[in-house]
Amino acid sequence: MINFNNKKNQYIITFTIIFVISIYIKLYQNIISIVEYKFDERINKVYGYCSGGENIGYLNNLKKKYNFHNNPNVINYLHVPNVTWAIFNPKKINKKSKDYIFLNYPGEKILIKLNEINKTFYKFNELYFYLDKVDKIESLQITLLNKEKTDQVNLEIYSKEQFKEKNLLYNFKIHNQISEDKIEFLLNIDLKNLYRKQVPVYFKLKNIENNKIKKLSLIGNNKFLLKNFKIINQYKNCYYTKKI
């Protein structure tokens, strides 16, 4: 006769052994990881050095290399969690700084991200994120799938609260033909003039079909031009600077 109690005990013992071995292996791997990577290397691996993310590694290096007399202004051009904690000194909170650290610096022009609803209708979801980075919205460029007749195309920019009528902010009826498959609306709009707290802003193209459009690009002017700063340290597109 089969002794079910013994068989059950064997399963329990086997499971316990496997569980303990798994914990041991995980602990062993963690210890190896700590030994294998120094603190800075682990930070670089998790948060990046200057590789298109938080770039905490670059901030840590600056903090060690330079004796900050205040808390530098940190401008990250990628929408990631706030990274100022990596260099922030609470004892220097009231000291104004001319020092600026730029992470993921894109150049003088910034490609602004819009949320595509369809090829002719876009929502400006993260306008607040660009307020401290973009001076003006310079233009809207539209790449067409083929050479198309676009004489009647116009652009509406409006804000709209839920359950309310839209508020037309701008209406552009004239555009430039950059090439056979690209047109451009020159906007020259101060970004702060678009910002309505908690109110979405929309871009809508009219008199053109969805299937005629390949890509839409909203281009802004960077508030921070490197020619206005003394570059103290640079690695790729990460900069430690002082305002001239």
Q: Model confidence over 211-227: pLDDT tens digits?
A: 999 999 999 999 999 99
Mean per-residue pLDDT, 178-198: 92
Give 67's pLDDT tier (boundaries 50, 70, 90).
Answer: confident
State how far the alpha carbon of 1 is from the alpha carbons of 4, 5, 6, 11, in Å: 9, 12, 12, 18
Q: What is the pLDDT of residue 83?
A: 92
Give 43's pLDDT tier (boundaries 50, 70, 90).
Answer: low
Whether the pLDDT of residue 30 is over 70: the answer is no
The rounded percent of the chain whose pLDDT value lies above 70 is: 82
What integer best gives the mean pLDDT of the chain?
Answer: 87
Q: What is the pLDDT of residue 2?
A: 46
Which residue's structure tokens are 């009219």?
A: 206
Whether the pLDDT of residue 125 is over 80: the answer is yes
Whether the pLDDT of residue 36 is over 60: the answer is no
Which pTM was predicted?
0.79
The residues, ordered by sequence, that sit 6+ positions from 189 with a Cβ below 8 Å of its Cβ are: 136, 137, 157, 170
75, burial (CB in 10 Å: exposed 0-12, middle 13-18, buried 19+): middle
Q: What is the pLDDT of residue 17?
A: 73
Q: What is the pLDDT of residue 96?
A: 80
Q: What is the pLDDT of residue 89?
A: 87
State how far the alpha carbon of 42 is from the alpha carbons of 36, 38, 39, 47, in Å: 9, 6, 5, 8
Q: What is the pLDDT of residue 196?
A: 82
Dihedral of CA atoms 43, 49, 51, 54 in degrees, nearest 10, equals 60
Give 206's pLDDT tier (boundaries 50, 70, 90).
Answer: very high
Over residues 152-181, the pLDDT tens digits come to: 899 999 999 988 999 999 999 999 999 989
Give 40's pLDDT tier (boundaries 50, 70, 90).
Answer: low
How far, in Å, CA of 74 to CA of 100, rounded?
Answer: 6
